[in-house]
Amino acid sequence: MKHSIDDLAILGGSPTFQNKLHVGKPNIGNRERFLARLNDILDQKWLTNNGPYVQQFEERIRELTGVKNCVATCNGTLALEIAIKAAQLTGEVIVPAFTFVATAHALQWLDIVPVLCDVDASHNIDPHQVEQMITPRTTAIIGVHLWGRPCDIAALTNLAERHNLKLLFDAAHAFGCSYKGRMIGNFGTAEIFSFHATKFLNAFEGGAIVTNDDELASNARLMRNFGFAGYDNVVQLGTNGKMNEVSAAMGLTSLESLADFIEVNRNNYETYSRELADVRGLSLSKYNENEKCNYQYVVLHVDPDVTTIDRDQLVEVLWAENVIARKYFAPGCHRMSPYRSQYSAANSRFHFTELLSERLLCLPTGTAITEKDILEICAIIRLVIQNGDEVARKIQGRHMRLRT
Under the criterion CB under 6 A, does residue 194 sit at the interface with ligand T4K?
yes
For residues 275 to 314, the per-residue mask of contacts with ligand T4K, x marking binding by CB under 6 A and - elsewhere, is: ----------------------------------------
Angle between helices 371-386 and 311-320 (to 10 degrees): 130
Alpha helices in 118-204 (DSSP H): 127-133, 153-162
Range in contact with ligand T4K (rule: CB under 6 A) among 4-12, 97-105, 273-281, 344-352: 97-105
Could you tell me how many residues make up the chain? 404
**Minimum separation from the CB atom of position 194 to ligand T4K (A):** 3
> CA 294, CA 80: separation in Å to the nearest integer?
21
SS3 94: strand
Nearer to ligand T4K among residue 196 and residue 221 (C-beta): 196
**Minimum separation from the CB atom of position 172 to ligand T4K (A):** 3
> CA 101, CA 394: separation in Å to the nearest integer?
34
Nearer to ligand T4K among residue 16 and residue 307 (C-beta): 16
Under the criterion CB under 6 A, does residue 170 sit at the interface with ligand T4K?
yes
Nearer to ligand T4K among residue 75 and residue 219 (C-beta): 75
Q: Summarize the chain as % helix, strand, coil (round to 5).
A: 45, 15, 40
Under the criterion CB under 6 A, does residue 29 sit at the interface with ligand T4K?
no
Under the criterion CB under 6 A, does residue 27 sit at the interface with ligand T4K?
no
Burial of 394 (0-12, 13-18, 19+ CB in 10 A): middle
Q: Which helix (H) or strand (E) holds 396?
A: helix 388-403
Query: Strand order of the sheet with strand 207-211?
Result: 69-73, 207-211, 190-194, 166-170, 138-144, 92-96, 113-117
**Minimum separation from the CB atom of position 78 to ligand T4K (A):** 7
Nearer to ligand T4K among residue 193 and residue 272 (C-beta): 193
Under the criterion CB under 6 A, does residue 23 sit at the interface with ligand T4K?
yes
**Minimum separation from the CB atom of position 124 to ligand T4K (A):** 11
User: Which residue has its beta carbon closest to ligand T4K?
Assistant: 76
Under the criterion CB under 6 A, does residue 26 sit at the interface with ligand T4K?
yes
Under the criterion CB under 6 A, does residue 102 sit at the interface with ligand T4K?
yes
> CA 302, CA 323: separation in Å to the nearest integer?
17
Nearer to ligand T4K among residue 222 and residue 299 (C-beta): 299
Selected from 196, 224, 334, 335, the binder of ligand T4K by CB under 6 A is 196
Handedness of CA 39, 41, 42, 48 (dihedral sign): negative
Under the criterion CB under 6 A, does residue 103 sit at the interface with ligand T4K?
yes
Range in contact with ligand T4K (rule: CB under 6 A) among 196-204, 302-310, 350-358, 374-382: 196-204
SS3 299: strand
Angle between helices 311-320 and 388-403 (to 10 degrees): 70
Selected from 11, 15, 22, 60, the binder of ligand T4K by CB under 6 A is 22
**First-to-last CA distance in the chain?**
33
Under the criterion CB under 6 A, does residue 68 sit at the interface with ligand T4K?
no
Range in contact with ligand T4K (rule: CB under 6 A) among 94-102, 149-157, 270-278, 281-289: 94-102
| Side-chain-facing half-sphere of 392: CA atoms under 13 Å | 12
Q: Which helix (H) or strand (E) holds 242?
A: none
> CA 182, CA 66: separation in Å to the nearest integer?
9
Under the criterion CB under 6 A, does residue 172 sit at the interface with ligand T4K?
yes
Nearer to ligand T4K among residue 174 and residue 383 (C-beta): 174
Burial of 48 (0-12, 13-18, 19+ CB in 10 A): middle
Contacts with ligand T4K, residue ranges (CB under 6 A): 22-26, 75-77, 99-100, 102-103, 144, 170, 172-173, 194, 196-198, 207, 324, 328
